[in-house]
Structure formats: C-alpha cells, structure tokens
Amino acid sequence: MEKDTFFSISNKLEFPLPPSSSSSPMNHHHHQQQHQHQHQHLPEFLHVNWTHSGDQSATNGHFESALSSLVSSPTAPPVAGESVVIRELIGRLGSICNSGEISPPSSHFTGSQMAGKVSSPPTPMETEFKTAQEVSSVSGESNSRKRKSVMKGKAKETTTTTSIVNVSKGGEEDENVYAKRWKSAEDGKTKAEENNSGEVSGQKQGKDSNAKPPEPPKDYIHVRARRGQATDSHSLAERVRREKISKRMKFLQDLVPGCNKVTGKAVMLDEIINYVQSLQRQVEFLSMKLATVNPRLEFNMENFIAKDTHSMVHPLEAAAAAAAAAASAFPYSYQPQQGTTLEALTMQMQPHDGFADIPPQLGNFWEDDLQSVVQSFNNGSLPTSHMKIEL
C-alpha cells in the first residue's frame, strides 16, 4: 500500500517514459507490469540519482534529515523476506516524498531509468536485496558480536544505508566509494553472518577508515562470538581453529573403524596413528606376498571369468593374469599412451567388458614420474639403491 502511494507520487511527477509509452494510461500499464516484477524494480527507486539543482537546497536539506532519520534507526522487521524490508523502506521514502513536495520539473526522476532497467541484469539488485536482508537480520539480533573482518562489516553496514542516502545526495564521493566497496565485497564474500546493530552509530568511524580506494575482495570467514565468551580477535581465531580441528577429527573418526566410542583428541590421535601404521604395514606385507606369488605365470582363463566380490578389480586382474600368462607376446617397449597398452592387453585375450570403463578415465594421467618408475621396472636388473634414486 505504501508502495502504491509511492508509485502514485512518481506518477504525479510525469516523468518522461520510454519512447514506446508516453501517455498516462501507459504509465499505469507500466506500473502494473512493474508490480508483477516487483523485485526487479523496487531497488531502482533506491538507486535513482535525483540530481538536485541549486534551487532545491531547501528540499535537499529536508531530504537529508528525513533520510538520515531513516538511516539511523533501522527497523526490526520480521525476517520474512527482503520484500518486506524493501516495502518498509519504500514506504518511508514515500512518506519523505509526501512531505518533501517534490516539484516535477526539477526532480529529474526519469522513468526511462526504470524502463531501461527492466532488461538490465539483475545482479546489482540481487546484491541490494542481500544487504537489505542482512540489515533486517542484523537488527533482530541482540547478542554481542565480533566481526572477523572489520572493514567488510563496516562496508556492508555503511553501504546499505548509503545506498539509500545516495538517493538524495547523488554526488558525494565518499558514498560512491562505499557503494563500490560494498559491491566488490559482495563479490568476494564467502559467508556473511553478522553485523553489529550498534555499528550504525559508528558509521562515521567507518566512513573515516573506509575513505580509501576499493580493495580487492578477500576471502574472510565470518565468525559469530557466542554469548558469554571472549570476543577478542585472538580467542576467536583460536576458537575457529579448534572447531576446524574437531570437525576434521570427527570425520577421521568415521574413517578409522572402531572409533565411534572413543572421545577425546589424544586417544583419537593415538588410534589414527595406529591405524595408519597398521595400514602401511599391511601394504608392506602384501607386497612381499605378491613378490613371492607373482613368478607363477600359468593361469587358466576360465578361472578368471568366475564372479568376484570385488567386481571392479576382476576384469583388470584377468587382464593382468592373461598378460602375465602370455608374457612372450607382451610388448616390452613402454608407450606413453594408454590406448596402445590397453590394446596390447586386449589383443592377448578374449574381449572383456570391463575395459570400456578404464580408457576414458585416464586421459592425461600418465606422468613422467610413473613412467620412469615403470621403465625401471622393465629393466628390472637395477639394484634397490638405483630404484630409490629414480623414485
């Protein structure tokens, strides 16, 4: 409803519309269209550059005071959605306009801007909505908070308000800088959780510190300090680190079998170390076993067609066995392309279905390191010391 008043007000301004529509009925139609596309158009009103000529100094002052009042007292609307917040802001703007008594010719409130922005990419508006949402979420919170990234938080806080202030003061460099910084910060933001509602009063502080050219966005991790906990930066960073570590320990707990009931970092670490050691020992033992087993090259192909629990390995093992069995025909020269070696393997034996899966996956996996290793395997007669050097 407040929106309607605002729309009607702007209607009174008789702003020039795009060439397709110039009469008032078209205005209404345009407005109705815009009603449907609310979210795209509402922020346009906020972004409007109301360039004020010199004779509007009186109304300018009124605008400033009204808008600053709007700015300094963020409402606590329900966190139902950004549209609610926007409507509130629009409503307030509408009230300001009502009392401001805008004179049509001097307002420069062009409808061409509105229409032009119908097809504009929605990203600036989306970001506008994001910050509006944050403002609403901010004002609803009451716990003590600590911003991990001071500049970012301040930029967010100031620019949501300054974007509205921009409406009236469309010229101050400071706010343009803030708007830019806000946009760049939006791009680089990873997780936004907090803003201090009390920081609105510290806006001026932020303005002073932010009077620099926009910096490249950094990848901050935003943290919220809980009630009754220390809020200095060191303890906060410590807490973040501890939470990260405990999260990863929990994941490790799932990996290591039989560690569900173990609690505590020290015992868990012991278990992990033991498990890794046992796995490495197993690899060593199995490799020894494979070394003793491998020289036996005689295999029957029918045995390998039998079903296996580990079905993925099965066709490849069959290939390996077949290749080993037909050692004489196996090509000795190692070729860097997987396709040729695969063909070599398949040539020796009956076609297996499993091979279709493997070649597409490999692509460019073969690197020089493994190639050299395999070549040294090929040569075979090198002593172990040589092996180490090549690895």
Partner 1 sequence: MHNNKYLKENPNQPLLAYHFIQALTRINLAAHTTSTKQRSHIIKHAAYVSMAFAAGNKRTWTHAVLHNRFPIKTRFHRLSGSRRSFIVSLSRNKETLHQAHLLRSLVPGGHAMEFSSLLMETANYIQYLTAQVRLMQCIVEKFDMHV
Nearer residue to partner 1 within complex by CB, 79 or 286: 286
Among 1, 255, 263, 364, binds partner 1 (CB under 8 A): 255
Does position 64 interact with partner 1 (CB under 8 A)? The reply is no
Provide the token pair at 168: 């009236």
Q: CB under 8 A: which stretch of 33-41, 117-125, 222-230, 247-255 binds partner 1?
A: 247-255
- Name which of 90, 97, 96, 102 is nearest 3 in CA terms: 90
Sequence-distant (6+) residues with CB within 8 A of 59 are: 52, 100, 101, 102
Question: For partner 1, which is the closer residue by CB, 201 or 277?
Answer: 277
**Separation CA 31–CA 4 (nearest Å):** 10
Q: Nearest Cα to 147, choosing from 99, 202, 94, 103?
A: 202
Among 5, 28, 299, 346, binds partner 1 (CB under 8 A): 299
Asked whether position 308 contacts partner 1 by CB under 8 A, the answer is yes
Residues 274-293 contacting partner 1, CB under 8 A:
274-277, 279-284, 286-293
Specify which residues 191 forms β-bridges with.
221
Q: Which is closer to partner 1, CB of 161 or CB of 341?
A: 341
Verify binding: residue 262, partner 1, rule CB under 8 A: no
Smallest gap, in angstroms, from Cβ of residue 378 to partner 1?
A: 6
Taking the C-alpha atoms of residue 112 and residue 118, their distance in angstroms, rounded to an integer, is 10
If one asks whether residue 370 binds partner 1 (CB under 8 A), the answer comes out as yes
| Residue from 92, 67, 77, 75 nearest 5 by CA | 92
Residue 362 touches partner 1, criterion: CB under 8 A: yes
Taking alpha carbons only, the member of 129, 123, 138 closest to residue 187 is 123
- Find the binder of partner 1 among 237, 273, 329, 356 (CB under 8 A): 273
Binding residues for partner 1 restricted to 29-58, rule: CB under 8 A: none
Cβ of residue 268: shortest distance to partner 1, in angstroms? 10
For residue 221, list its beta bridge partners. 191
Burial of residue 211 (number of CB atoms within 10 Å: 0-12, 13-18, 19+): exposed
Contact between 357 and partner 1 (CB under 8 A)?
Answer: yes
Among 9, 84, 151, 256, indicate the residue that binds partner 1 (CB under 8 A): 256
Could you say which of 327, 329, 347, 356 contacts partner 1 (CB under 8 A)?
A: 327
The encoded tokens of residue 103 equal 């004179």
- Residues in contact with partner 1, counted by CB under 8 A, come to a total of 77
Cα gap 318→303, rounded to integer Å? 9
